[in-house]
Amino acid sequence: MAIIHHTTLKPTKLELLTTWLPTRPWYVGDGAPELTKAGGFRLDDPEGEVGIEFMVAVDTSGPEPTAYLVPLTYRGAPLAGAEHALVGTMKHGVLGPRWAYDGCHDPVLYAELLALIEGRAQAMAQSITDTPDHEVARSCTGSGFPSPAWPVTVTDDQDGTELPAPDGAALRLNRVLQPTAPDTPPQGATGHVAGAWQSPDGTRARAVFAALYPTPGDC
């Protein structure tokens, strides 16, 4: 169980993301995002060592707000071989130095996201300890995924991020979120995860965050 500490972070997550997001191929802004944390959820690391967060950050710098899905992991020491995936380092008021990574490059997040799709893991509230997030929906037509091999090749493009999954499948994460009716999987998908966030106009938006395909394909 992850314990949520309500304390200081220097720099903040949003400050790190303000610099990092414009370096991503799926970023659609002009290079100067104005970000708010608008939603998301957490997953628990079974070993209790790695923080796992799926954050929705909304950029209001452009003509229309843009919601980005940013999976992050937080570690108490650097992750070997993941220097290219480092978002930045922070000083946590309770835990001390923390290394924040693009979670798509972290084997712990990868394994737990597959477990969530299959129904072996529970989505947890973003800011409340030991509280399930019942806004998160998931589905899967199969079961018994083998333990994922690591490392894997992570591919970013203008639409999102793709990772290979067990048995030749592809795990696709939507980075620029498009509000939809997301409680059924996209066409051709064998599993999915959907979540919610708060739009700047005060409404609650929902979208598919990730989908599992039997062969590589677009969400």
Identify whether the C-beta of residue 65 lies closer than 8 Å to the C-beta of residue 202: no
Range of weakest confidence among 58-62, 133-137, 207-211, 214-218: 214-218
Render pLDDT for 130-141 as a digit per residue (tens, 0 to 9): 899 999 999 998
What is the chain's percent helix, strand, coil content, to nearest 5?
15, 35, 50
Name 189's Cβ contacts closer than 8 Å, sequence gap at least 6: 211, 212, 213, 219
Pure H helices in 132-218: none
Render pLDDT for 140-179 as a digit per residue (tens, 0 to 9): 987 777 777 889 999 999 989 999 998 889 999 999 998 8
Name 59's Cβ contacts closer than 8 Å, sequence gap at least 6: 21, 29, 33, 34, 35, 65, 66, 67, 68
Domain boundaries, the chain: 9-213
d(CA 58, CA 35): 5
d(CA 204, CA 124): 18
Query: Which helix (H) or strand (E) segment is 112 a member of?
Result: helix 107-118
Query: Which helix (H) or strand (E) segment is 16 a member of?
Result: helix 13-20
- pTM, full prediction: 0.92
Range of weakest confidence among 19-28, 41-50, 122-131: 122-131
